[in-house]
Copies of this chain bind each other. A is one copy, B any other.
């Protein structure tokens, strides 16, 4: 269309590939960037370029890192005998923000979901088994998401890890702190009842 220059259409096309960004949002973002006086477009371009250029997977835990092994794996104050298995690097960030876990991580990079084309060989499951077999691990915390796919992945991991004779736990289920009983769904309430604690 003659009203839109090729470079504008191009950016709208690329932005539309982002999850949750439709063509209208992409167009609005593009024109926001065109109007922006602080060189945000250029800064974004540099940050995007550096993202893939500078980051890699940690060869120990497969988290995203600039240094290999990552700062968590190479931190002598962390306990390498407690391994927390998560689906995504975002989960590591969430757990680190909580600031209570002092062990190390293993990032699967996904969850078992055959309908989405995610099989055992697409996840870092083989690497986990090798790592546990080769290392001095006391406990593995399965911290997959509390979804049916996350639970299924945890069950599969348990079958693989159980023969290795290591203690396997999972994160507690129940009411989220700050939540309202009135709005809790029945599955969460059932889990909260089953997991009730003596006070």
Contact = CB atoms under 8 A, between A and B. Distances in A.
Given A5-B66, A7-B54, A41 B48 contact: yes
Interface stretch (A24-32, A139-147, A178-186): A24-32
Contacts of A93: 1, 3-4, 27
A5 B49 contact: no
Interface stretch (A84-92, A159-167, A188-196): A84-92
A3 B66 CA distance: 11
Nearest to A95: B3
A89 B31 contact: yes
Given A17-B40, A44-B14, A30 B6 contact: no
The 4 closest A-B pairs by CB, nearest first: A2-B71, A3-B96, A45-B48, A11-B47
A123 interface: no
Contacts of A129: none
Interface residues of A, number: 61
A106 B51 CA distance: 39
Contacts of A170: none
Given A28-B19, A49-B42, A75 B33 contact: no
A44 B31 contact: no
Interface string A78-116: 000000000011101101110000000000010000000
Contacts of A70: 2
Contact of A32 (B18, B40, B48): B18
A153 B96 CA distance: 51
Given A11-B47, A50-B7, A75 B2 contact: yes
B55 A7 contact: yes
A106 to B, nearest CB: 13
Contacts of A88: 31
Given A14-B40, A40-B14, A48-B41, A64 B2 contact: no
